[in-house]
């Protein structure tokens, strides 16, 4: 059993070596000067929204786009009502969007819906000459200067740009807070630091801009794995694209409120990460050996944490009962080692959560007591990824929609923020 104790030490050391750079990111995010951009040209954009049974929330998103501090004649809103059984199409149309309905029981998922819609835009709206597409999910709402700020970064040469992702329901419970705090940390201490260091950022599901030239070159949207955003990010990075980040473009989206919803969503994410790694892992490794830090960063994002955690969990689960039965003298040592590993995991994520909470305090629309309390539950939320990742390794996973019901307009979000 000594070997298991040594193994746990080696795993902890590997974690530290692999992810030490993310502590550097924290320092960069805290102390490196904020970037500033200005635009010489106002570009023409198509806003693209994929929606499935989202009649309750899509109106607020379209309204927030209509209220942008950006010339309305340079923005068109397209909605793909994908396999809907409600009145999403009617609601979106009445709100002022150009709406297409798609019904396909075989090609299911956001990636297929986007590809279908891009083909419609290409064939029926080619005269508009869109320079970029801004992708949203139906449950989003955006700040009034979102497109204006994204345009500044786009005009400075970035062809793919992600935004600052905040939440509509941070204060609902420890699950929504766990999601929200992760996305705030990703914005502030991952993408923000990457942008300052001029390495590639990562797309996180929604609220991103993509140059029309990329879509045209690819012949539409070609990424159809369970996590099409991560696939697109990885594909961009291995092909040398530097993804930018716009700190001033603020997006609000809804987080799952029950553990079952969270389980279904994160099971898909975990399976999708495995799929992306299987498809792009070798190309990422080749990129690493060519000196691409972006490839290394993406490689670390996709696999080592999951893989090391899975191996450690399985071996320790098998070793613990054997230790108690056959080598009791090492059982206590093994339990102590596992305890130390768990405490280290908890401490690291508590530290990340605490620093994020302090720096983004004014951006978290939640009472002070809950803000502090949720920094303590954040590591627990992250720990629940371990069993989900294990299940995803063996379980067949398909795309399933997550029901959205938080019907807040951007004005209601701001009014609520002023009460805290």
> What single string gives the DSSP state of each residue in 118-172?
HHHHHHHSGGG--SEEEEEETT-EE-TTHHHHHHHHHHTT-SEEEEEEEES-TTS
Mean pLDDT of the chain: 91
Query: 189: which DSSP letter?
Result: I
pLDDT at 64: 97
- Residue 342 is predicted with a pLDDT of 76
Token pair belonging to 224: 């159809």
- CATH number at 305 reads 3.90.550.10
Distance CA 301, CA 269 (A): 12
Average pLDDT value for residue range 82-96: 96
Average pLDDT over residues 174-201: 97
Between 2 and 377, whose confidence is greater? 377
Indicate the helix (H) or strand (E) that contains 81: strand 75-82
Encode pLDDT of 236-276 as tens digits.
999 999 999 999 999 999 999 999 999 999 999 999 999 99
> What is the pLDDT, as a whole number, of residue 1?
55
Q: Is the pLDDT of residue 119 over 90?
A: yes
Does pLDDT of 328 surpass 90?
no
pLDDT band at 323 (very low <50, low <70, confident <90, very high): low
Checking if the pLDDT of 215 tops 70, the result is: yes
Q: What pLDDT is stored for residue 339 in this prediction?
A: 73
Residue 320 has a pLDDT of 63
Question: For strand 160-167 and strand 208-211, is the pairing parallel, antiparallel, or unpaired?
Answer: antiparallel
pTM across the whole model: 0.92
pLDDT at 306: 63
Q: Determine the pLDDT at residue 349.
A: 92
Number of domains in the chain: 1
β partners of residue 102: 82
> Average pLDDT, stretch 383-403?
88
> Which pLDDT score, from 0 to 100, does residue 352 have?
95
β-sheet bridge partners, residue 81: 51, 101
Mean pLDDT calculated for residue range 183-204: 97
pLDDT at 53 over 80: yes
Q: Which of the two residues, 171 and 418, has the higher pLDDT score?
A: 171
Query: Where do we find the tokens 């400075």?
Result: 156
Identify the domain containing residue 144 by its residue range: 1-420
Average pLDDT over residues 125-145: 96
The radius of gyration of the chain's CA atoms, rounded to the nearest angstrom, is: 22
């Amino acid at each position: 059993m000594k070997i298991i104790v040594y193994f746990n030490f080696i795993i902890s050391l590997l974690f530290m070596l692999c992810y030490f750079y993310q502590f550097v990111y924290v320092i960069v995010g805290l102390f490196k000067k904020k970037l500033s951009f200005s635009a010489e040209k106002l570009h023409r954009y198509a806003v693209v929204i994929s929606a499935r049974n989202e009649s309750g929330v899509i109106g607020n998103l379209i309204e927030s786009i209509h209220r942008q501090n950006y010339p309305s004649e340079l923005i068109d809103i397209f909605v793909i009502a994908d396999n809907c059984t409600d009145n999403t199409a009617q609601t979106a149309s009445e709100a002022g969007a150009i709406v297409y309905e798609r019904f396909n029981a075989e090609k299911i998922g956001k990636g297929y819906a986007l590809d279908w819609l891009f083909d419609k835009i290409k064939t029926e709206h080619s005269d508009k000459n869109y320079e970029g597409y801004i992708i949203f999910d139906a449950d989003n709402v955006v700040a009034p200067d979102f497109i204006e700020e994204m345009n500044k970064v786009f005009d400075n040469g970035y062809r793919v740009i992600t935004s600052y992702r905040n939440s509509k329901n941070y204060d609902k419970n420890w699950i929504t807070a766990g999601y929200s705090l992760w996305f705030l940390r990703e914005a502030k201490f991952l993408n923000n630091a990457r942008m300052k260091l001029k390495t590639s950022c990562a797309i996180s599901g929604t609220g991103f801009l993509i140059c029309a030239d990329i879509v045209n070159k690819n012949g539409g949207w070609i990424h159809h794995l369970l996590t099409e955003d991560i696939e697109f990010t990885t594909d961009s990075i291995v092909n040398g694209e530097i993804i930018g980040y716009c700190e001033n473009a603020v997006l609000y989206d809804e987080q799952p409120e029950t553990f079952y919803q969270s389980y279904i969503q994160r099971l898909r994410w975990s399976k999708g990460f495995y799929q992306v790694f299987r498809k792009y892992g070798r190309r990422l490794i080749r990129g690493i050996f060519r000196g691409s830090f972006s490839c290394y960063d993406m490689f670390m994002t996709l696999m080592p944490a999951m893989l090391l955690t899975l191996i450690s969990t399985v071996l320790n689960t098998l070793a613990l009962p054997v230790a108690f039965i056959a080598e009791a003298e090492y059982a206590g040592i093994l339990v102590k080692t596992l305890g130390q590993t768990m405490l280290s995991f908890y401490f690291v994520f508590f530290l990340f959560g605490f620093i994020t909470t302090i720096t983004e305090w004014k951006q978290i629309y939640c009472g002070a007591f809950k803000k502090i309390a949720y920094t303590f539950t954040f590591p627990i939320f992250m720990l629940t990824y371990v069993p989900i990742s294990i299940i995803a390794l063996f379980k067949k996973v398909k795309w399933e929609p997550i029901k959205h019901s938080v019907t807040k307009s951007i004005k209601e979000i701001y009014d609520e923020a002023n009460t805290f």
